Structure 1
Amino acid sequence: MVFFKSRSIAVHEDHQPAEECIAAAATAATGGDCRSLTVWRKSLLFSCTGFTVIDSCGDLVYRVDNYIGQRPGEVTLMDASGKSVLTVRRRKNLRLVENWHVYEGEVGDTSRTNRPSSSKQPICSVKKHINILHANHNVLAYVFLGNSDKRYAYRIEGSYANRSCKVLDESRRVVAEIKRKEAMNEGVSFGVEVFLLIVCPGFDSGFAMALVLLLDQMFS
């Protein structure tokens, strides 16, 4: 873990003292303020592509390590210890609209049947929004709970290319947000490879990160 921590601090200039970290953890546990995560669009393993997600103390929270050329239609989100949290998997179909499923944990070998080897059901499906013949050009995707696509639970609006997105529930309340990370020192720019994921109380941070992975597949 020392290797991960030393590299994570390099992209996290807002490193906090231990006392502030303890206070932030207590606030998050009681459902207080929003949680701020720094997302680095880079794997910490040299032979992989992926993501590294760091909390406000500079500790590794989530990671994505994809070996180059491995399963381009399937991405697994892991916690700091390497345990699979969620799997994002693209659905192959002949329809114009692109669809993805999100599963808890891993889904096994899908190379032959295009289906999970286990009997797992997706916790949600996500549909990319096609702007053709639609008035709302600000919508990026719709999130449906389970395997249904009749009524969305969340919608994602904004621009992933500019790292400016919001996840809204049915009442249009913002539950998560992707924002550009501002550098504290003048003349230093993080660009779009390092950005912030803000997660509001009551919304799962792992699920929010899975939506980031989906947006990256849709719009990168």
Structure 2
Amino acid sequence: MVQIHPVQTLPVDSGVREVKSSPYVTTEQESFTIWMRSLVCHSKGCTVYDSKGNLIYRGDNYDSKSCGEVYLMDLYREVLFEFQQSFGLFKSCEGCNSNGTRFRLRKNFKISPRGSSSSYKAVMESSKDDQQSCYKILNHRSVFIIEDGSGRLMAEVKKKQSNVNGLDFGEDVLTMVVEPQVDHSFIMGIVIAYGLLKCKL
């Protein structure tokens, strides 16, 4: 049986406190494993592990029919982002957190050559400083790339490959590589919003 990630438990005292007190901004390139399965029975979602096999995030859709109860949570079930989907003329998904930061993800409707990558745009706003930031999401076949407004690579998501005897994890196990100085909780928020727009969550 193929393991998605090696099981590693956290020490009750030191390890758990370290995860909770650490910021979501990486100081070096970091790799995560995304399993597109919820830990909640009969619910859609995803489960995210860090490179050491520790559970870092949970994404759960408690109402898959209306997509009205979708949350990104940390290890302690604290809600980091709440999501709402809009089904108007231009389908979009909005994520917001308790700090007043919100973003809206929607597809760029431009005519592209057949077989080329599809693109999405995420606009983030903060109620604290009224600043607005834009991000570009490119999806080409099985690779999902997130860039900032200047074109700098922030993260890449693709199907996870096993180096052991060529074993296949399946379509629902992904690798997410986040670049240094990038808030990986925000990146996960974009990944979940994208999954909702693609009806994968």
TM over 0.5: yes
Match of 2:193, SS state, is: helix
The verdict on how the C-alpha distance between 1:87 and 1:152 changes in structure 2, with shifts beyond 3 A counting, is: same
* Aligned pairs (5 A) from 1:63-212: 63-67=58-62, 69=64, 71-93=66-88, 95=89, 97-105=90-98, 123-131=102-110, 133=111, 137-146=116-125, 153-159=134-140, 162=142, 164-212=143-191
1:108-160 CA-partner distances (Å, limit 9, x unpaired): xxxxxxxxxxxx965211111224x356952421011229xxx861100123x
User: Where is the helix percentage greater, Structure 1 or Structure 2?
Assistant: 1
Count of aligned pairs between the two proteins: 181
Q: Which runs of 5+ in 2 are unaligned?
A: 127-131
- For the pair shown, which has the larger CA radius of gyration, 1 or 2? 1
CA shift in 2, pair 1:31/1:208, >3 Å: closer
Does the aligned pair in 1 maintain the 2:39–2:47 contact within 8 Å? yes
- The aligned runs of 1:38-49 (5 Å cut-off) are 38-49=33-44
TM-score in terms of structure 1 length: 0.70
Give me the TM-score of the superposition, normalised by structure 2. Answer: 0.76
Identity of aligned residues (%): 24
Deviation at 1:60, TM superposition (A): 0.6
**Unpaired runs of 5+ in structure 1?**
1-8, 106-119
The structural deviation recorded for 1:79 is: 0.5
Higher RCO (CA-CA < 8 Å; seq separation 6+): 2
Report the secondary structure of 1:153's partner residue: strand
- The partner residue of 1:12 within 2, 5, 8 is 5
RMSD after superposition: 3.2
Decide which structure has greater strand share.
2
Letter in 1 for 2:97: E
Instruction: Tell me how far 1:48 sits from its aligned partner.
Output: 2.1
Q: 1:31 to 1:121 in 2, by over 3 A?
A: closer
Alignment of 1:27-38 (within 5 A): 31-38=26-33
How far 1:104 sits from its partner (Å)?
0.3
